[in-house]
Copies of this chain bind each other. A is one copy, B any other.
């Protein structure tokens, strides 16, 4: 292990869009949703209004597919001024069920790197999604045996990570987080003095986007695929 990472005891992996495809399914559902409401508004406007509704409900519903579906239903009723049919509501519920039933599509090099690192480190899955949904994906992915356990955080703020490290009984310098979201997986980790490696995914949810000046002075590494992780860690 290279000098920068020699103290690492636990490696946390984000799940969605780090190990497997996720955001793509949300984008697909949004396209379908816009089609359902196309007689009311343009797809662009619908996207914007849905995002607003999700943000309005975020503190109440949190992250994950179920809250997303509830926000779609509420927004469709509001946008249509209570004129959509309940058939449309039914179809929105089905969009959510389809998302929950999607197969798991692993990203490049995932299994190989987990197999290697699980021999020398304790690996944990760190997610702010829904526990049941993440367990289901982990099972479908056949990656369960590489992870010590799943940690669900209600949000990925510095305070949530500090609490996690307390609970794992390790110091920040002993923790490395690997993930696709600068906002959730990288910047808060750097802020608490732990290590972070960024693996961007091609699509990022607007809520997860950060301004360039937020990342300028931050100390983390970026790789283009998990397959590079072995070389970086050494």
Contact = CB atoms under 8 A, between A and B. Distances in A.
Interface of A: 60-62, 66-67, 69-70, 73-74, 77, 80, 82-87, 89-90, 93, 96-97, 100-101, 130-133, 135, 148-149, 152-154, 163, 166-167
A82 B90 contact: yes
B97 A86 contact: no
A173 B182 CA distance: 43
A131 B148 contact: no
A38 to B, nearest CB: 18
Give the 10 A-B residue pairs with the shortest CB-CB distance, closest first.
Answer: A62-B132, A66-B66, A132-B154, A149-B167, A131-B154, A77-B86, A135-B154, A60-B100, A131-B152, A82-B86
11 contacts: A60-B97, A61-B66, A61-B100, A70-B93, A73-B93, A74-B90, A77-B90, A130-B130, A131-B153, A132-B154, A152-B152
Given A62-B131, A85-B86, 4 more contacts: A60-B100, A62-B132, A149-B166, A152-B152
A71 to B, nearest CB: 10
B149 A163 contact: yes
Q: Tell me the number of copies of this protein.
A: 2
Contacts of A89: 73, 77, 86, 89
A99 to B, nearest CB: 10
Contact of A74 (B70, B93, B135): B93
A167 B90 CA distance: 40
Given A70-B66, A135-B154, A149-B163, A60 B90 contact: no
A205 to B, nearest CB: 18
A84 B86 contact: yes
A175 to B, nearest CB: 16
A80 B89 CA distance: 14
Contacts of A69: 70
A135 B153 CA distance: 10
Given A70-B93, A77-B86, A86-B77, A62 B130 contact: yes
Contacts of A61: 66, 100, 132
Nearest to A82: B86
A167 B87 CA distance: 45
Contacts of A85: 82, 86
